[in-house]
Every structure is written in structure tokens, then in C-alpha cells.
Amino acid sequence: MLETMRHNMADIAGYGAVGVLLMIIGFCVVDLITPGNLRHQVWVERNRNATVLVASATAEVALIVIGAINARSGVLWEGIVETLVYTVIGLAILAISFFLIDILTPGDLGEMMVDEQWHPAVWVIAVVNIGTGLILATAVN
């Protein structure tokens, strides 16, 4: 029992730290693809569009991390490396999908995502983010 508990605690610490780090990196990726200071827009200006965008991107990263954890090999460090690789690929897909949708969108999608007025496009991106997370989480299993 103690041996299992020790392994579980190591898994929780390792995957927890990597998961939080990857969600922070995900926030930085979203900040790079949207205009302005995303931290300020979300926490100071309370911009709803920016908040939905960040929340959905964070959910995407979390879903990918969950999928990677479920598909991990038996060794902790290998599973963490796999999680990092799969999630970095997911972040690249997040950015690429944003740019592809931006090409199809009349106007500047990034500006719409941080507009002070509610914009329905944020829901499209939110669903794309969560859908992509689900697809990638399933793909690694």
C-alpha cells in the first residue's frame, strides 16, 4: 500500500506541475495571438470575450494533458515527456486553427476576441478550442 501511495504521490506532483506549467504556456500562446495585454484585459478590464477565449484554451490544454496522462507509459519521466510533447503539438494546433479561422473571418478575429462588447465569434473559437482538446485527448489514447 505504501509503495502504491508513494508512486501515486510522485505522479500527482509530476503531472500536476507539468499540467499547470502547460496551462500557463497556453495562456502565453493565446496572449501572443491576440492584440493587447491579455492579463490586463481579463483581470483588470474584465473583458468577457477575452475571458471566454482564455478559459476555452485552458480547457483545451487540460483535456490534452488528461489524454496524455491516460495514455502514459509506466515510467513517470517518460509519461511527463509524452505529456509535454503532445500538449506542445496541441498548442501549435490551437494557434494554427485560430489563424485559419481568422483567414475565413471578415475583419480581425484577434480584435473580436478582445472587443469590449460581446462578440459571437468568441463562442465559435471556444467550441473549436474545446473540440480540438477532445479530439487530441482521444487521439493519444
Distance between CA atoms of residues 118 and 11, nearest Å:
41
- pLDDT per residue as tens digits for the range 35-92: 999 999 999 999 999 999 999 999 999 999 999 999 987 789 999 999 999 999 999 9
CB 100 within 8 A of CB 132: no
Q: Which residue has better confidence, 4 or 92?
A: 92
Distance between CA atoms of residues 114 and 79, nearest Å:
36
> What average pLDDT does range 88-98 have in this prediction?
96
CA atoms within 13 A on the CB side of 136: 27
Burial code (b: 16+ CB inside 10 Å, e: under 16) for 21-50 equals ebbeebbebbbebbeeebeebbeeeebbbb
Distance between CA atoms of residues 14 and 119, nearest Å:
38
Find, among 41, 23, 25, the residue nearest to 115 by Cα.
41
pLDDT at res. 4: 87
- pLDDT per residue as tens digits for the range 103-112: 999 999 999 9
pLDDT at res. 118: 95
Residue 141's pLDDT band (boundaries 50, 70, 90)? confident
87: left (phi over 0), alpha (psi -120 to 50) or beta: alpha
pLDDT at res. 32: 96
CB 41 within 8 A of CB 57: no
